[in-house]
Structures are given as structure tokens and as C-alpha cells.
Amino acid sequence: DIDLTAWVTQQEYASVAARTTHRSGREHEDMVAVVGQLAGGTITSHLVNWLSPFKERVTVVTGSKGSFVADTLSADLTFHANGEIEQAWDAISKFRGVSEGDVVRYAIPKPEPLRVEHEQFRDAVLGKDADIVTMEQGLRTVLVAEAVLESARSGATVVVPA
């Protein structure tokens, strides 16, 4: 989630505030909730959960014209447009905020993720062009993850080292 957010927004994390919980008796956290501030002012939130009995892997990117919803388990991509039709019922429009517009589900290729990962790794080893994470991007993701854990331990917002 950390590297996906940085890639989609093309912004680095500036700070994070996080909380974790341990419920299952395992050594590591079962759940983490994070609010992040990115370098360009964008805010982000993440909820990573190993407690629920179902698997959910959804990324939502909201902009001025609507929201993209990417389900990375099923490889589905849907766009929910903000409505452009005037609401006749004033009370509901004040309650709901932005009105609902058209919804488009995109038909996109769905290659097997592990195969793609292996092919990209192979190409990088062979010196071919490969769309993979750089060492610098990987290091940055680790720094953000460490800041998340520090924030959860201290209860304070943590500035991510530059």
C-alpha cells in the first residue's frame, strides 16, 4: 500500500500517524490504521487487517471528478463519476455531499500477478527494460513502514526522514 500510494500520486510520504492492535496472539500486529500526509499535500489512509475472515484488497483514488476503485484481488477497475445532475431533493443533497454519477467498469487484461513479477525480475537481471521498483523506492517504503511502527508505538505523528 505504501509503494502503491507513492507511485499513483507521484509523491513521497511526509508524515504518518498510525495505530496497531494485537488480537490473535501472534508476534506481529494484526491490524494497522494509518493516516499519511504526502509531500504535495495529499492525504492518504490505509487499513491493513489480518483479523477479518474475508480477504479484501481495494485501493480507492478520489479526485475532483470522481473515484477510481481498484480491486487488486480480482484485477477489476471501476470509475465512479461525480454526478452532474441537479438534485431535486435539497435535504438529501446536503446530507450526501457529491451526488452519484455514472459508473464505468473497465475491461482490462488480467495477467497472473506472480508470473508478471517473475518476468519483470528476469528482464531486470538480463539488463532489459523492466518496470520494477528501484532500490531507492524500496528503501523509501521501508522508511515509511518504520515511521508507521514508530507512530503506533509512540502515539504521535512521525515525520518520515527525507
Q: What pLDDT does 118 receive?
A: 93
Instruction: Please say if the pLDDT value at position 86 is more than 80.
Output: no
Cα–Cα dist 95/139, whole Å: 43
Q: Which CATH architecture has domain 2-159?
A: 2-Layer Sandwich (3.30)
Q: What pLDDT does 92 receive?
A: 62
pLDDT digits (tens, 9 = 90+) for 102-145: 999 999 999 998 999 999 999 999 999 988 888 999 999 999 99
- 97 versus 112: which is more confidently predicted? 112
Q: For the chain, what are the domain ranges?
A: 2-159
Q: What pLDDT does 91 receive?
A: 65
State the cell numbers at 68: 477510481
Q: What pLDDT does 133 receive?
A: 85
Instruction: Please say if the pLDDT value at position 89 is more than 70.
Output: no
Question: What's the rounded mean pLDDT across residues 75-84?
Answer: 92
Instruction: Please say if the pLDDT value at position 84 is more than 90.
Output: no
Distances (CA, A) of 79 to 25, 72, 101: 39, 14, 10
Helices (H), the chain: 2-9, 90-96, 113-125, 135-154
pLDDT digits (tens, 9 = 90+) for 27-72: 889 999 999 999 999 999 999 998 889 889 999 999 999 999 999 8
pTM, full prediction: 0.83
